[in-house]
Amino acid sequence: MIALAYVVMMGLVALLSPAIAGTKPLVCSYQGKLYFPALGYFNRSWENAVFRKDRFRNVYPAKLREKDPASWAIWPLVYQDPYRRVRDGEWPDQPANPTRDEGRPNRFNLFGTNRAGVDVFAQMVHGARTALLVGFVSMGIATTIGVIVGATAGFFGGWIDTALSRLIEVVMCVPSLVLILALIAVLERPTIWHLMAVLGVTGWTGIARLTRAEFLRLKELDYVVAARAIGVGRTAIMFRHLMRNAMAPVLVPVTFGIASAILTESALSFLGFGAPPPNPSWGALLNDGRGNQQMWWLIVFPGVAIFLTVLAYNLIGEGLQESTDPRLAGAE
Amino acid sequence: MSNSVIDIKNLRTYFHTEEGVVRAVDDISFRVDEGRTLGIVGESGSGKSVTSLSIMRLLAGSARIESGSIALLGKDLVGLPEPQMRSIRGSDVSMIFQEPMTSLNPVFTVGDQIIEALRLHQKLSKSEARRRTIELLDEVGIPEPAVRVDSYPHQMSGGQKQRVMIAMALSCNPKLLIADEPTTALDVTIQAQILEILRRLRDTRGMSILFITHDLGVIAEIADDVLVMFRGKMVEYGSVLEIFENPQHPYTKGLLSCRPRLNTPYRLLPTVADFMQTVQEPLPDGSMTTRVIETKLSEDDIRRMTSHGRGRLLHSKSELATLGHPWTDGLLAPDTQSVEEGTKPLLAVDDLRVHFPIKRGVFSRVVGHVKAVDGVSFNVYRGQTLGLVGESGCGKTTAGRAILRLVDPTSGSIRFDGIDVASLQGAALKKMRSRLQIIFQDPYGSLNPRMTIESTLIEPMAVHGLGTNRADRRDRAVELLREVDLPPDHLRRYPHEFSGGQRQRICIARALAVEPEFIVCDESVSALDVSVQAQVLNLLKALQEKRGLTYIFISHDLSVVKFMADMMAVMNAGKIVEFGPSEAIYADPQQEYTRRLIAATPDDDVQDIRRRVAARQAATAD
Amino acid sequence: MLDYLIRRFLLAAVTLALITFLVYGLIRLMPGDPLLMQMESMGPDKMPRAEDLERMREVFGLNDPWYVAYFDWLGRIVRGDLGVSLSRNTKVAAIISERIGPTLLLSLSSLSLTYLLSIPLGLYSTARANKPDERVLSTLLYMLYSLPSFVAALLLQTWFAIELRGTAWELPLFGMVSDNFNDLSKGAQVLDLLRHAILPITCYTYGSLAYYSRFVRANLQEVVRQDYIRTARAKGVGPLRVLVRHALRNTMIPLVTMIGLTLPALLSGSIILEQIFSWPGMGKLFFESIRERDYPVLMGLLLMFSTLTLLGQLLADTLYAWVDPRVSYS
């Protein structure tokens, strides 16, 4: 229950990250029109061109006042930016972010700042977005591949099954981090999307194996044989009778997979092979903190965040496993 | 009066579940005297196994003994500390279980497991214990005991494993042996052997047995006294002769008459519901209790009620003669008819073979075949019921599935209404599927758990284009439910909301949804309690008459097959051993195997019981 | 049995060929020129002359289509030649064998610690199932199981650096030996090595320890529900003996097969942990060769990891037949 609440909370933080920490107004009225510059955190091109034309240079509070005294704006809860250092006087009564190893947590930088003076709290809030995005998209890819491969192998059997099982074995044989690193390393400019694709392409084997096993088991059940005896077609048997009943157990490795994808993303970022620098990532923060043990806040906060997230998804996976366990279900 | 080995007074064992208290055993009292056998009989959920586990103090989970006393050799076990209880288990009282397949530890040899029991309770050296173990294995009839002592459980058959379990239970000369459904998982011929061993050991060792079973036939074969349990309560307790000759409680009466016997005169079976009704009443502590209201029906009423219905329909007289069971007036029940000479059979199976390859080696070479069905031929005429009976692994299920093309036959022909089913493909096969249907054994596995009853019943109609639209199909589904005696408001529910008997009715409704002419019933009542089994058998018979259906009725239970089938085929090792009218095969079996099967089927004939009781008394008087 | 082994080896060889083919192809088909990338990372001023580059391409077969190059490489492998490192000019085999020792030091001690501790922990938590102390222990193990090892390593390093510096508990945070290692006496050398190994071994071990104890416990709880355990209790066997003799033997079956599956991990080390602790093992080697785009070393390592994985699976199946009397391959 707590795990579920945490996951929901993290989802909200990720979704509302520009509203929690940022230097762009959520809503502002500028020269008589309404704009939503904070959307720029999701995608650069969503930030209205008018601000680039008017050379705002991301310093909204002063420029808004200067260019249009009648303007108003609604600001994020914390005026900090995940990409750059906030300078002195940008925001009323807020000093510049400290740099080097002086940025221990304070009133303005809740979790401190890194060596370049970028706020850790802002990076973590926006990093949650990266983590969740990677977790869900890569597992989405993995689930699609895994379910298709596993279902095909389990349903058709024979040489198709032999060939696909072989394929699963081959992919499983290569240690996943090794394969991922090898693939990422040869990319010229890896983006976060490449990363997700690679994680998805390497992470489907467990799902495929389980789907295949479920299909093989369900195929022998009397209700499937009864459907064949009735004359129900292959496709209908596959989807109506097998897929629907196989999906609940398959959710278990998917949930564990999300945890491991988030973990792998932060590990890769930590090693410097993650999404390129401007992307905020928990792993990248850890990498920042590696150089200097005195800057404990660069290790502790993202470390705890990774731990809690992995823990939450593992707990949910465990819960799902218990509820789909045939032994426990049979005892009802 | 002899000494009591165990004396139980007012035992109550409750389960404390999240939904509340369940009174699994509710005020049970009985005693077993030295050298006697008490049979506890009841259906699933009656609390008979919980009673035995209470004695052993092996209750699991939320079950607790609430009150009462269990005196074993004068010592009360209820409050006994665990270490003392442990020294009693396996020495003074020991137990054998239902599933010999899983009751032995797979990673130890059977010898090791018996030696362990011996050395736990007796001061024996390893070699002495081993010698003793070999003697015990010999005593329970394991061939070559000196070799088999080093076998692992998986190297033995089910019957042998149960013998090992008995040897282990007897290793420390217990005063009381608790046998919890020890023969339920075994074939009937093996069951007869195990019962024989138990009787012999009881007599040679002067031991007492508490025998728990759902099968009244088995009770009649082994018990001196009988206790009947119903929903946690004891409803009747008396000597075996009293119970079978003159049952007092309506439940006992119902149970005794709803069971098809080899010599049953009924055409439809009486059911427990003909004798009594039950009312659920809440108790002050929130748990539920069952009150029984007797239905005032004389047994004659019931006999009249169940003696109408269709008579037997046999093959033509010339065919019967070639089968070795010529038409003999005296042997056959009244109203028996035979089809006219020259009638075309609805289903003609000729030299059917189903072989499964065994693969081995580097390139999966086929090194041999499992000949599941090995040259089976028979005819079935319209409106007939053909019974296929045989022990596990005889090929009866595979034969049934091959006829429906659910497994592909290796060779032979299957002609249904003149069409060769074995060679049908695509649309023609699909069309054939609406004429041939099947009902399975396991009521839990044969319904898709994620489909409502409505979609389960509508799917076959949609596949075969029956009914004009969804509403029309739903009306048909309601009609089907009514036909199998289920209320129409069940349509919206999911399978898990139903009991085993109800699910089996839904399966029957699904098979009927495509308006078939021919149904294979594959062990369709084997997983059900006897009282429910009787209702489903009656339903199948009623549907046959109403719709003019033709059945192949497959079962391991000779008495059920004989009750249902006009013609009966006895199968063994993939072949039909004997084929003829059910009555004739029972009255005058021609083959040795059939005779063995009939002899092994437990009978609760009162004359037999009387004879056995007299013999027992004579033996103990000596 | 022999028949079975031959069959397995043939299958493994095919799988291995497939893996390397796939990986080789993937690496080669990725955008970017391995040689150019390597040079770029050294800085623009060190860009080699075009003819030098061409000569290197020739040497490493980069001018051939990738499948031709693959079969060239495979041919050399079959002859036992792993090739020469791009960035170090040393034989790949020599580099690898130099790095195996440090990795084995970590992985073997971690593996033995894991097995030594997880079985008693699993037994304990099964015996005391649902008692308060078991709840606490299980929760703790679960937390450890979910704590990523590199996060733990970083937290430990931070803690040791800030809180324990200068105390008696101070431990070296990086490297395998101290700078003055060669001047130390034999005994002091061993001590020095051990002190360096404590933190890496801890991080290596706790995760697998948590995983294995949970695994042992889950399996035991499954086995304890079986009918044959009831049989054992019905013949008067005490609770401890039931657990240790009857249940544990059955639990050993999946546990022993896992030994086989850990074989590759024994030698591959942990990329991240070795990186964090600057431990000169296989994981660090892999990471370095990735950064330097050292393809011969990378392919050599991949080949080794995959071979070990396949061997591990074979070992697992063989062990399985050995501990479970029901399984035989003859």
Question: Could you tell me the pLDDT band of residue B351, with boundaries at 50, 70 and 90?
Answer: very high
Q: Note whether C235 contacts B89, CB cutoff 8 Å.
A: yes
Domain edge (last residue) among A118, A141, A172: A118
Arithmetic mean of pLDDT, B436-451? 88
Mutate: best of C5, C6, C8, C235, partner B, most B CBs <10 A: C235
Other CB atoms closer than 10 Å to residue C317's CB: what's the count?
A: 17
Q: What digits encode the pLDDT tens for the residues B555-601? A: 999 989 988 999 999 999 899 999 999 888 888 899 999 999 998 88
Residues A165 and A236 in one domain: yes
Lowest mean pLDDT among B428-432, B535-539, C124-128, C321-325: C321-325
Residues A147 and A81 in one domain: no
φ/ψ of residue B386, rounded to 5: -100, 130
Contact by Cβ (8 Å): B577, B583: no
Residues A145 and A251 in one domain: yes
Nearest to B460 among A222, A230, A233 (CB): A230
Judged against a pLDDT cut of 80, whether residue B206 lies above it is answered with: yes
Lowest mean pLDDT among A45-54, B468-477, C142-151: A45-54
pLDDT of residue A12: 78
Q: Note whether B58 contacts C234, CB cutoff 8 Å.
A: yes
Judged against a pLDDT cut of 70, whether residue C45 lies above it is answered with: no
Q: Is residue A248 part of a domain?
A: yes
Arithmetic mean of pLDDT, B22-32? 91
SS3 call for B439: strand
pLDDT of residue C32: 53
Judged against a pLDDT cut of 80, whether residue B551 lies above it is answered with: yes
Residues A155 and A51 in one domain: no
Domain edge (last residue) among A83, A118, A153: A118
DSSP C91: B
- Reported ipTM: the value is 0.81
pLDDT of residue A327: 47
**What stretch(es) of chain C map to CATH 1.10.3720.10?**
101-279
Question: Could you tell me the pLDDT band of residue B544, with boundaries at 50, 70 and 90?
Answer: very high
* Chain A residues with beta carbon closer than 8 angstroms to that of B401: 225
pLDDT of residue B361: 55
Judged against a pLDDT cut of 90, whether residue B227 lies above it is answered with: yes
Pick from B492, B431, B432: which is nearest to B465 by CA? B431
CA distance linking residue B593 with residue B578, whole number of Å: 9
Domain edge (last residue) among A94, A118, A142: A118
pLDDT of residue B403: 93
Pick from A135, A174, A178, A150: which is nearest to A314 by CA? A135
Please tell me the distance in Å from B186's CA to the nearest CA on chain C: 17
Arithmetic mean of pLDDT, B147-160? 89
pLDDT of residue A268: 83
Residues A238 and A293 in one domain: yes
Closest chain A residue to B430 measured between Cα atoms?
Answer: A231
Residues A217 and A107 in one domain: no
SS3 call for B226: strand
Q: What digits encode the pLDDT tens for the residues C66-98? A: 777 788 878 887 777 777 776 677 788 888 888
Residues A136 and A173 in one domain: yes
Nearest to C228 among B86, B87, B103 (CB): B103
Q: Which residue has the higher pLDDT, A138 or B287?
A: A138
DSSP code per residue over C289-324: HHHTT-HHHHHHHHHHHHHHHHHHHHHHHHHHHHH-
Q: State the CATH architecture for C101-279.
A: Orthogonal Bundle (1.10)
Domain residue ranges in chain B: 103-173, 313-435+517-530+554-603
Please tell me the distance in Å from A203's CA to the nearest CA on chain C: 16
Question: Could you tell me the pLDDT band of residue B94, with boundaries at 50, 70 and 90?
Answer: very high
Closest chain B residue to C253 measured between Cα atoms?
Answer: B107
Contact by Cβ (8 Å): C25, C66: yes
Structure tokens that stand for B520 in this block: 């294979």
Helix axis angle for B470-483 and B500-512, nearest 10°, is 130
Question: Could you tell me the pLDDT band of residue B224, with boundaries at 50, 70 and 90?
Answer: very high
Q: Name the percent of chain B lying above pLDDT 90.
A: 43
pLDDT of residue B1: 45
Nearest to B105 among C7, C10, C232 (CB): C232
Lowest mean pLDDT among A179-193, B378-392, B472-486, C20-34: C20-34
pLDDT of residue A332: 30
Domain of residue A68, residue span:
22-118
Q: Note whether A263 contacts C148, CB cutoff 8 Å.
A: yes
Residues A100 and A136 in one domain: no
Amino acid at the residue B146: A
pLDDT of residue B274: 81
Q: Is residue A97 part of a domain?
A: yes
pLDDT of residue C57: 64
Q: Whole-prediction pTM value?
A: 0.82
Residues A98 and A139 in one domain: no
Q: In whole numbers, what is the pLDDT of chain B averaged over residues?
A: 88
Arithmetic mean of pLDDT, C167-181? 74
φ/ψ of residue B520, rounded to 5: -95, 120
Judged against a pLDDT cut of 50, whether residue C65 lies above it is answered with: yes
Structure tokens that stand for A143 in this block: 């689930």
pLDDT of residue B393: 84
Arithmetic mean of pLDDT, B203-208? 90
DSSP B409: -
* Chain B residues with beta carbon closer than 8 angstroms to that of A232: 459-460, 463
Judged against a pLDDT cut of 60, whether residue C46 lies above it is answered with: no
Residues A246 and A158 in one domain: yes
Q: Is residue A214 part of a domain?
A: yes
State the alpha helices, DSSP H only, in chain A. Answer: 2-15, 17-20, 49-53, 60-67, 120-156, 158-173, 176-186, 192-202, 205-219, 222-230, 234-236, 244-271, 282-290, 297-324, 326-330
Give me the number of domains chain A comprises: 2
Other CB atoms closer than 10 Å to residue C168's CB: what's the count?
A: 5
CA distance linking residue B274 with residue B408, whole number of Å: 44
CA distance linking residue B130 with residue C145, whole number of Å: 46
Contact by Cβ (8 Å): A149, A207: no
Neighbours of chain C (3+ CB pairs under 8 A): A, B
Arithmetic mean of pLDDT, B199-206? 89
Q: Which residues pair with B26 in a beta bridge?
A: B12
Q: Which CATH superfamily is domain B313-435+517-530+554-603 in?
A: P-loop containing nucleotide triphosphate hydrolases (3.40.50.300)
Find which of A64-68, C62-66, C223-227, C322-326 is predicted with most confidence, using mean pLDDT.
Answer: C223-227
pLDDT of residue A328: 45
Residues A61 and A138 in one domain: no
Neighbours of chain A (3+ CB pairs under 8 A): B, C
Residues A126 and A108 in one domain: no
Q: Is residue A6 part of a domain?
A: no
Q: In whole numbers, what is the pLDDT of chain C averaged over residues?
A: 79
Arithmetic mean of pLDDT, B332-339? 78
Q: Note whether C31 contacts A187, CB cutoff 8 Å.
A: yes
Arithmetic mean of pLDDT, C296-300? 80
Closest chain A residue to C292 measured between Cα atoms?
Answer: A185
Q: Is residue A14 part of a domain?
A: no
Other CB atoms closer than 10 Å to residue B430's CB: what's the count?
A: 16
pLDDT of residue A329: 41
Q: Note whether A223 contacts B446, CB cutoff 8 Å.
A: yes
Judged against a pLDDT cut of 80, whether residue B535 lies above it is answered with: yes
- Mean pLDDT per 10-residue section of chain A, whose length is 332 residues: 77 74 74 73 70 68 70 72 70 69 68 73 81 88 92 87 83 72 69 83 87 88 89 86 85 86 84 72 77 74 84 83 58 32
pLDDT of residue A330: 37
CA distance linking residue B471 with residue B492, whole number of Å: 14
Q: Is residue A150 part of a domain?
A: yes
Neighbours of chain B (3+ CB pairs under 8 A): A, C
Question: Could you tell me the pLDDT band of residue C255, with boundaries at 50, 70 and 90?
Answer: confident
CA distance linking residue C328 with residue C330, whole number of Å: 6
For B39-74, give one letter per residue: b (16+ CB within 10 A) or e: bbbbbeebbbbbbbbbbbbeeeeebebbebebbbbe
Please tell me the distance in Å from B410's CA to the nearest CA on chain C: 28
